[in-house]
Structure 1
Amino acid sequence: MMNSNIYVQAQMLIRKPIEDVFEAFINPEVTTNFWFTKSTGKLEEGKTLTWEWEMYGAKTNVKVLEIVQNQSIKTEWGEPSTNVDYEFKEMEKGTLVVIKSYGYSQTGEDLLKIINDNTDGFTTVLDGCKAYLEHGINLRLIEDKFPSK
Structure 2
Amino acid sequence: MLEFRVNGRIAKPVAEVFDAVVNPEKLSGYFTTIGGASGPLVAGTTVTWWNMAPVIVDEVEENSRIVFRWDAMVEKGEEPYKTRVEMRFIPLEDGATMVTIAETGWRENERGQKSSYLNCEGWSQMLSCMKAYLEYGINLRHGYYPSELKGVVASEPDF
TM-score normalised according to structure 1 size = 0.86
* CA positional deviation for 1:111: 2.2
Q: CA RMSD in A?
A: 1.6
Residues 1:20 and 2:16 aligned together: yes
Contact 2:32-2:49 within 8 A present in 1 as well: yes
Which structure: greater strand fraction?
Answer: 1
Conservation of the 8 A alpha-carbon contact between 1:8 and 1:118: no
Matches within 5 A, 1:46-125: 46-52=44-50, 59-79=52-72, 80-93=81-94, 94-104=96-106, 106-125=107-126
Q: Which runs of 4+ in 1 moved over 2 A?
A: 145-149
Q: After TM superposition, give the deviation of residue 92 of structure 1 in Å.
A: 2.2
Q: Which has the greater radius of gyration?
A: 2
* In structure 1, C-alpha distance between the alignment counterparts of 2:60 and 2:21, rounded to whole Å: 11
Note if contact 2:22-2:40 (Cα within 8 Å) is conserved in structure 1: yes
Larger RCO, structure (CA 8 Å, separation 6 or more): 1
Cα deviation 1:48-89 (Å, max 9, x = unaligned): 111116xxxxx1111110011110000001243110111000
Separation of aligned partners in 1, 2:108 and 2:59: 28
CA distance in 1, matches of 2:120, 2:49: 19
Matched position secondary structure for 2:86: strand
Preserved CA contact (<8 Å) 2:55 2:68: yes
Paired residue secondary structure (1:32): helix
1:83 and 1:119 mapped to 2: Cα distance? 13
Choose 64-73 or 28-37, whichever is displaced more: 28-37
Where structure 1 has 5 or more consecutive residues not aligned to the other structure, the ranges are 54-58
1:35/1:68 CA distance change after superposition, 3 Å: same
Q: CA deviation at 1:107?
A: 2.5
Q: CA deviation at 1:146?
A: 4.3
- Unaligned runs of 5+ residues in structure 2 are 73-80, 153-159
Q: Distance in 2 between matches of 1:89 and 1:146?
A: 34
Indicate which of 29, 39, 61 corresponds to 1:33: 29
Aligned to 2:134: 133
